[in-house]
Amino acid sequence: MDLVTPGFGLVFWSIITFLCLLFILRKFAWKPILGAVSDREEGIKDALASAEKAKLEMQNLHADNERILQEARAEREAMLKDARDMKNKIVTDAKDEAQVQANKMIEQAQAAIQSEKKAAMAELKSHVASLSIEIAEKVVRNELSNKDKQLKLVEDMLGEATLN
């Protein structure tokens, strides 16, 4: 027998064995294998769809995060601007209030000075009047101590009274 060329019986039994094996595989193993491959294919498709969905959700989340960040920055800027405006208003109000208080204090000081001045003038006038009365009293005593001087004073006064 030749080892290189197979015999008819070997070929026949090989074909029969192959066909039996093919029948058994088709009957029992082919459907589960195709089902497993189909399930695997569906699983891969679902996984790809889930990955695409997750990717879209991540893009949406990233866009939302950017939008929220922009809003937060805008709100922070608005709050800083409001704070600066409020600070400037408070400083301006404080300056105005200080100016009003200073003007009020100046007016009060001027009024106090005027009042003190009037009081000093009144006291000075009172003092001058009392000194004048004392001097006049001394002069009149001197003048009236002499009878001739008294008559002359009365005549002078009468002369002045008629002229007026």
How confident is the model over 80-106, as a mean pLDDT?
A: 94
pLDDT of residue 127: 84
Q: Where are the domains of the chain?
A: 14-163
Q: How many CB atoms lie within 10 A of CB 56?
A: 10
Q: What is the pLDDT of residue 152?
A: 78
Confidence class of residue 92 from pLDDT cuts 50, 70 and 90? very high
Q: Which of 147, 145, 139 is nearest to 155 (CA)?
A: 147
Convert 74-103 to b/e letters by CB count within 10 Å (16 or more is b). Answer: eeeeeeeeeeeeeeeeeeeeeeeeeeeeee
Q: What's at 135, amino acid-wise?
A: I
pLDDT at 164: 44
State mean pLDDT over 19-31.
88
Residue 141's pLDDT is what? 73
- The residue-averaged pLDDT of 17-24 equals 92
pTM for the predicted model, two decimal places: 0.40
Looking at residue 145, the DSSP 8-state letter turns out to be T
